[in-house]
Amino acid sequence: MKIPKTFFLLLIIPLFSFSAHKYYLSLTQIKFKPETKSIQIIINVFMDDIELALNKDYNIDLQLTTKKELPNNNVYFEKYLREKLQFTIDGTPKKFNYIGKEYENDLVYFYLEIENIATVKNIQITNKILTKHFPDQQNLIKTKVGKVDKSILLNKDETSGTLEH
Amino acid sequence: MKKIGFLILSLVFLTSSYSQITTKGHTNENKFKQMYDLLATPNEQHNASGAPGKGYTQQKVDYKIDITLDDEKQKISGEETIKYHNNSPDNLEFLWVQLDQNMRAKDSKTPDINPTKIPEKLNKNRFEKSYVDEPFDGGFNIMSVTNIDGSPLSYTINQTMMRINLVKPLASGEKFEFNIKWWYNINNHREDGGRSGYEHFPKDGNNNYVIAQFYPRLCVYDNVEGWQNDQFWGRSEFALEFGDFTVNITVPEDHMLGATGVLLNEKEVLSKTELKRLAEAKKSFDNPVIIRTQEEAINFEKSKATKTKTWKFFAENVRDYAFATSRKFIWDGMAVDINGKTVMAYSLYSKEANPLYGDHSTRAVAQTLKTYSQYTFDYPYHKAISVDGQMGMEYPQICFNPGRPNPDGTYSDRVKYTMIKVTIHEVGHNFFPMIVNSDERQWTWMDEGLNSYLEMLAELAYDKNFPMSRGLPKNIVNYMSGDQSKIAPIMSKGDNVYSFGNNAYGKPATGLWILRETIMGKELFDHAFKTYAQRWMFKHPTPEDFFRTMEDASGVDLDWFWRGWFFTTDVTDIGVKGVKKFYSSSNSDNTVNFIEDTHEGLGYTTNHSKYHYEITYEKPGGLVMPIIVEFTYKDGTKERKTYPAQIWRYTDDEVTKVFSSSKQIESIVIDPDLETADVDISNNSFPREKSDKFDKFKKEIKG
């Protein structure tokens, strides 16, 4: 199948309108805590981007931080994160608990926890957050196990990676 | 007496490492070494203080342009006469002209330099759009390039650049006049992106045009680059000369139009009512006056005029030209007092952007002109326009901004603040780079970084509770602590950096914020920054000119800061490594002994009149920064001590410093207000803070 040149052109066009402000980056911070035998995860995303993505995917109107904010929105956030995020620790897929979210300026922070983890040698993560609606979305993953920090950058073409500790 | 004790202590510290025989040396790796290895040598054009030297020259380019907009076909055709003044000491064999629209030509190489992969999933709309047989042809069609007598002039097009082949070299001090005739198809910027283009409204069938890079424009020929003829790949923006523009723009007669320059024929293009309202606006300093109302605009958008009107402008000493036009535009304006001179703030917006634009746009323009004038120079032009262009892009006296309310007219704080933020930013670009005219093609940070910094001051002046995001030190941490293989130093060309927004906007803005708030202080910083702006107003500065002027006008040596923050990707990480506690006891022979209290933690086993803490600070981060320490005493009171960055000049990894007080210390925190972009604050407190952000949040939720 021959793919026309415009196909690629369209994919990169958002770069050009990047003349003033907009950039697309989320951060996922993953930390192993031996004292609680858990992996704690904090994710931050831009509020306007996540709002747009959820509104489109679930046909809702979140209106975050306004008086008309959709009251049960944690349901949608959790659903979205479960669709877009998978963790595999030392070869075993693990479920995470959705602890909650908070807002800070133009960011939304999500707090997730994976329990009953005794040791961590490697963390495989799949992260498709925002890549469907924002072709330039980059998802930065940082892990901390003991004193060692590792990081990888994921995007729509590379949605998963493994961090060795 | 005690001083002697300290002196002995520090002598021991300094001399303890001189016992081995040296076999290998090294070059100067000190973080405080002078910057001769990184900066261009000053010369007669850009002098050692960072000011224009006595040999500084600058070209001048004047344009006479006639433009016609074809609303039916979304096409622009134009004719221009360019008068090029060679003020340089050099003879020029050729001239270079920029053809920016060729980035959108069918044969543009821009798509070819971007690596691509097949994505897993694609938005359906985007997918369908990609399967068109003919790519959009948005390049310039050059119809003719001629001498002033109409005879053909030889030229060569190299992608987005065109060389004018002169028959004989243009001598220093001489002028050369020539004509270009062209047309191009306008891109739909809402669907295909871009810094210029049209937006189509299917409901009423109209288009809003925000038009820029629409004419072939001369490249800069300066004292440091010669011809700046780097290709326009789409990201790194523009380098342009100043000159005078005489522009006639022909559009459908029911359009409302805003453009760079003074409108010469307002009686021909505005109605009597509009002229009366405009006169009122020029006297209204508190509230915008609506010059074309929403009702009037709605009436115009119901039909399409077949006749045209020509708007005539003259713009003196501008580096570029842009305009916006639509029959949908509402127009309002208010007067702004800039040091006794009246400048007009205007907005042009469609009903879809109201009431958001009516409420805030013109006020945001006015605030920007005031705040920026205060920190740089009095805004020298007569007006600034913000257009509902649904992008964020800046041109002299006019800019295109985003943000629209919900269909029912309501809008959230977030939409409001984003719109104000971008408006301030784009209007602010009138100062950098439209007047302090740096080379954007090379150094994105010189306008975006400086502008993003001043934008913060204007935002706080607009609303003291303005939600600040980019620019504050704590907000750059995620970027700076990221994967080093995807981070470039600020001193890189815009086309080649990762995470463009953080690299060229956020990090330099934060750097200036840190200099002002933490390192230099407001007074010294503001004076130096203003000096830079005034020295290079209507000129072409280089990075060296900025770095040198900031030192020259403040008396603060900042080589270490420029080197670390602008030329490397190093990070700040300073912590407390350990604390030893001492108390003193006097001896009969007139000496004082320091005795260590080895009890764990900060608490002493017994009370003393004076407590001496020997604190070792560690610096895992590569950047040098002041150490800001907050001591909290057992009685709850606090004391701060800031050690200048130069404390790191002998040792880069750790340093020990004594702090004495008459009260016992309960805890120590480094950088308590998060002023230095410290990437790891887990080592900032002593004793170590046990619970982190996650624990705190979980406790709050679960109770």
Residue of B nearest to A26 (CA): B478
Calculate the dihedral angle through the C-alpha atoms of B335, B338, B342, B344, rounding to the nearest 10 degrees: -40
Which of these, A110, A64, A54, lies nearest to B413 by C-alpha position?
A64
More confident position, B5 or A39: A39
In tens, the pLDDT along B216-247 reads: 999 999 999 999 999 999 999 999 999 999 99
Please report the domains of chain B, with CATH numbers, ordered by start residue. 29-56+438-570 (1.10.390), 59-241 (2.60.40), 252-437 (no CATH), 573-702 (2.60.40)
Q: Give the integer Cα–Cα distance in Å for B388 and B392.
A: 10
- Helix H or strand E encompassing B695: helix B693-702
What pLDDT does B566 receive?
98
In tens, the pLDDT along A67-84 reads: 788 999 999 999 999 999
Mean pLDDT of B4-21: 56
In this complex, do B418 and A48 lie within 8 Å of one another by their Cβ atoms?
yes
Beta bridge partners of B77: B68, B183
In this complex, the residue of B114, B237, B481 whose CB is nearest that of residue A12 is: B114
What pLDDT does B1 receive?
46
Q: Give the integer Cα–Cα distance in Å for B415 and B167.
A: 56
Calculate the dihedral angle through the C-alpha atoms of B417, B418, B420, B426, rounding to the nearest 10 degrees: 160
Q: Give the integer Cα–Cα distance in Å for B44 and A45.
A: 50
Mean pLDDT of A116-143: 93
In tens, the pLDDT along B447-486 reads: 999 999 999 999 999 999 898 878 999 999 988 998 898 8
In this complex, do B391 and A20 lie within 8 Å of one another by their Cβ atoms?
yes
Does A42 reach chain B within 8 Å, measured CB to CB?
Answer: yes
User: Quick check: B130 pLDDT over 70?
Assistant: no
What pLDDT does B314 receive?
98
Q: Give the integer Cα–Cα distance in Å for B345 and B337.
A: 10
Residues of chain A with C-beta less than 8 angstroms from the C-beta of B486: 153
In this complex, the residue of B189, B422, B692 whose CB is nearest that of residue A17 is: B189
Mean pLDDT of B636-652: 97
User: Quick check: B628 pLDDT over 70?
Assistant: yes
Residue of A nearest to B104 (CA): A9
In tens, the pLDDT along B155-210 reads: 999 999 999 999 999 999 999 999 999 999 999 999 888 899 999 999 999 999 99
User: Quick check: A1 pLDDT over 70?
Assistant: no
In this complex, do B694 and A31 lie within 8 Å of one another by their Cβ atoms?
yes
pLDDT band (50, 70, 90) for residue B131:
low
Mean pLDDT of B684-701: 89
If one counts every other C-beta atom within 10 angstroms of the C-beta of residue B306, the result is 9
Mean per-residue pLDDT over chain B, rounded: 94
More confident position, B36 or B20: B36
Tell me the pairing of strands B75-85 and B175-185. antiparallel
Q: What are the start-end ranges of the E strands in B205-307?
A: 206-211, 217-218, 221-222, 226-227, 243-252, 256-259, 262-263, 289-292
Residues of chain A with C-beta less than 8 angstroms from the C-beta of B504: none
User: Quick check: B560 pLDDT over 50?
Assistant: yes
In this complex, do B697 and A100 lie within 8 Å of one another by their Cβ atoms?
yes
* Three-state DSSP string of B322-344: CEEEECCCEEEEEEEEECCEEEE
Q: Give the integer Cα–Cα distance in Å for B668 and B634.
A: 11
Tokens representing B39?
């900066």
Does A75 reach chain B within 8 Å, measured CB to CB?
Answer: no
In this complex, do B121 and A131 lie within 8 Å of one another by their Cβ atoms?
yes
In tens, the pLDDT along B409-445 reads: 999 888 899 999 999 999 999 999 999 999 999 999 9
Residue of B nearest to A155 (CA): B119
In this complex, do A135 and B126 lie within 8 Å of one another by their Cβ atoms?
yes
Non-local CB neighbours of B339 within 8 Å, separated by 6+ positions: B373, B378
Residue of B nearest to A31 (CA): B694
In this complex, do A9 and B133 lie within 8 Å of one another by their Cβ atoms?
no
In this complex, do B426 and A99 lie within 8 Å of one another by their Cβ atoms?
no
Residue of A nearest to B136 (CA): A6
Residues of chain A with C-beta less than 8 angstroms from the C-beta of B412: 63-66
Residues of chain B with C-beta less than 8 angstroms from the C-beta of A48: 414, 418
Helices (H), B515-604: 522-535, 543-552, 559-561, 567
User: Quick check: A4 pLDDT over 60?
Assistant: no
Residue of B nearest to A101 (CA): B697
Mean pLDDT of B544-556: 98
Residues of chain A with C-beta less than 8 angstroms from the C-beta of B697: 99-100, 102, 109, 111
Non-local CB neighbours of A2 within 8 Å, separated by 6+ positions: none
| Domain definitions of chain A by residue range | 28-164
3-state secondary structure of B284: coil
Which of these, B390, B645, B488, B201, lies nearest to A17 by C-alpha position?
B390
In this complex, do A16 and B194 lie within 8 Å of one another by their Cβ atoms?
yes
Residue of B nearest to A158 (CA): B119
What pLDDT does B528 receive?
98
pLDDT band (50, 70, 90) for residue A136:
confident
Tokens representing B133?
């047989």
Residues of chain A with C-beta less than 8 angstroms from the C-beta of B133: 4
User: Quick check: B376 pLDDT over 90?
Assistant: yes
In this complex, the residue of B192, B194, B426 whose CB is nearest that of residue A20 is: B426
Give the closest-approach CA distance of A138 to chain B in angstroms: 9
CA diameter of chain A: 55
Q: Give the integer Cα–Cα distance in Å for B458 and B548.
A: 26
CA diameter of chain B: 107
Mean pLDDT of B239-258: 98
In tens, the pLDDT along B397-416 reads: 999 999 999 999 999 888 89
What pLDDT does A90 receive?
96
Tokens representing A89?
């620790």
User: Quick check: A20 pLDDT over 70?
Assistant: no
Interface of A with B in 101-140 (CB under 8 A): 102, 105-107, 109, 111, 113, 128, 131-133, 135, 138, 140
In this complex, do B694 and A42 lie within 8 Å of one another by their Cβ atoms?
yes
- Residues B566 and B490: beta-carbon distance below 8 Å: yes
Which of these, B458, B463, B456, B576, lies nearest to B511 by C-alpha position?
B456
Q: Give the integer Cα–Cα distance in Å for B669 and A97.
A: 33
Non-local CB neighbours of B194 within 8 Å, separated by 6+ positions: A13, A16, A17, B104, B187, B391
In this complex, do A142 and B391 lie within 8 Å of one another by their Cβ atoms?
no
Give the closest-approach CA distance of A68 to chain B in angstroms: 9
What pLDDT does A2 receive?
43
User: Quick check: A23 pLDDT over 60?
Assistant: yes
Residues of chain B with C-beta less than 8 angstroms from the C-beta of A20: 391-394, 422, 425-426
Q: Give the integer Cα–Cα distance in Å for A118 and A98.
A: 20
- Residues B195 and B213: beta-carbon distance below 8 Å: yes
Give the closest-approach CA distance of B609 to chain A in angstroms: 40
Mean pLDDT of B46-74: 98
Q: Report the first-to-last Cα separation within chain A, whole angstroms.
A: 41
In this complex, do A19 and B392 lie within 8 Å of one another by their Cβ atoms?
yes
Alpha carbon separation from A51 to A28, A69, A150, B64, B413 (Å, rounded): 18, 11, 29, 47, 14
Interface of A with B in 13-32 (CB under 8 A): 13-23, 25, 27, 31
In this complex, the residue of A15, A42, A106 whose CB is nearest that of residue B234 is: A15
In this complex, do A132 and B701 lie within 8 Å of one another by their Cβ atoms?
no
Most confident of A148-157, B529-538, B681-690: B529-538
Helices first, then strands: H and E counts in chain B: 17, 31
Does A44 reach chain B within 8 Å, measured CB to CB?
Answer: yes
- In one-letter notation, the amino acid at residue A29 is Q
Residues of chain B with C-beta less than 8 angstroms from the C-beta of A99: 697-698, 701-702
In this complex, do B698 and A113 lie within 8 Å of one another by their Cβ atoms?
yes
pLDDT band (50, 70, 90) for residue B346:
very high
In this complex, the residue of A8, A40, A48 whose CB is nearest that of residue B116 is: A8
DSSP result, B362-400: HHHHHHHHHHHHHHS----SSEEEEEE-SS-EEETTEEE
**ipTM of the predicted structure?**
0.83
Does A77 reach chain B within 8 Å, measured CB to CB?
Answer: no
Residues of chain B with C-beta less than 8 angstroms from the C-beta of A66: 412-414
In this complex, do A4 and B129 lie within 8 Å of one another by their Cβ atoms?
no
Size (chain A), residues: 165
Alpha carbon separation from B539 to B176, B338, B354, B545, B648 (Å, rounded): 22, 22, 38, 11, 38
Give the closest-approach CA distance of A92 to chain B in angstroms: 24
What pLDDT does B115 receive?
82
User: Quick check: A16 pLDDT over 50?
Assistant: no
Alpha carbon separation from B26 to B35, B163, B336 (Å, rounded): 18, 48, 59
Residues of chain A with C-beta less than 8 angstroms from the C-beta of B421: 21
